[in-house]
Amino acid sequence: MIVQIYEIQTPHEAENCARLGVDHIGCVLFPEEEGQDRNLKEVMRVSREAGLKSSLLPLFQERDLVWRAIEDYSPDYVHFCQSLTNHLGQPAGIEDLVSFQADFKESFPQTGIIRTLPVPRKGYGTFSFPHLEVLRSLEEVSDFFLLDTWIEKEPVKGFIGITGRISNWSAAREIVLNSRIPVILAGGISPENAHEAVLSVVPAGIDSCTWTNRVDKEGNPIRFQKDFNKVEALVKEARRAEQALENMKDHIEETLTRLKAELAEREAALPAHSIRPHQLLLIEDLEDQIAQKEKELACLELAVSIGR
């Protein structure tokens, strides 16, 4: 189970993350902000020496600037979170982004790509973006998906995320089950809900930003000020959930064994001639159940092994 913490902007913060058992750290890169160059290069160095993976999220989209940033900072991953929808939640501009990422992969084969996919906020209803065909098109040019909460008005125009809002975990789980690459769950993840989120969605990792930050007197999160007591609590909850997933894996393996035995019995009992429709339906139902359980088992195995 990968634990990723975002808004890590100083070497001291990176050292704290390493000490607390964080696996990935995320840094935000602003366009032309003085002073971040030295700090973030030190963050990357500290991360490498501590065995952490680093990702760099550029809050700009100009190709030349992105390319230069990767050359300057050499992160393990670049994190692209440009919007994939318009304000109505309809897919927009995806083909251009697929081409952009394909060009990036060709130019920087040593740097992985994390691609944010939007998931509707909890309680939004039947909104179902992304469609699986969109998932597939981005899958070919990404190494990880990160699921973050979609709301009508983005906090940072043109980019998904940093809402502090919980997403629809049922929709997120559907994406996890259908993705061929590892999926990290973000969107309102906190020490209080990390355990439930992992068991509900079974992602390969969780990502926290807003709710591992310090808060002001009114309880509002303060951007770019981490609360490492919260980070520590989040890591503990993720590891506790990881152990629960191990138990779930054992249960699903037992269920699969039973379903496969039942399928073999039913197939062996089929007459040589005059197979009845209901017999075929029962077999197809068992095959569907087995396929679903195999997907669930694959997700569980990935979640408990990745990052180790």
What ranges do the domains of the chain cover? Answer: 2-242, 245-305
pLDDT at 124: 66
Question: What is the H or E stretch that residue 166 is in?
Answer: none
Say if residues 297 and 256 touch (Cβ distance below 8 Å). Answer: yes
176: left (phi over 0), alpha (psi -120 to 50) or beta: alpha
Q: Do strands 24-29 and 53-58 pair parallel, antiparallel, or not at all (unpaired)? A: parallel
Tokens coding 213 = 């930050």
Query: For residue range 142-177, what is the model confidence (pLDDT) as tens digits?
Result: 999 999 998 877 778 888 888 889 999 998 999 999
Binned at pLDDT 50, 70 and 90, residue 135 comes out as confident
Q: Compute the distance between CA of residue 43 and CA of residue 47 in angstroms, rounded to an integer.
A: 6
Q: What is the total residue count of the chain?
A: 308
Question: Which CATH code fits 2-242?
Answer: 3.20.20.70
Q: What is the mean pLDDT of the chain?
A: 91
> φ and ψ at 13, to 5 degrees?
-65, -40
Tokens coding 30 = 């602003």
Binned at pLDDT 50, 70 and 90, residue 51 comes out as very high
Distances (CA, A) of 188 to 112, 166, 168, 237, 271: 24, 4, 11, 15, 55
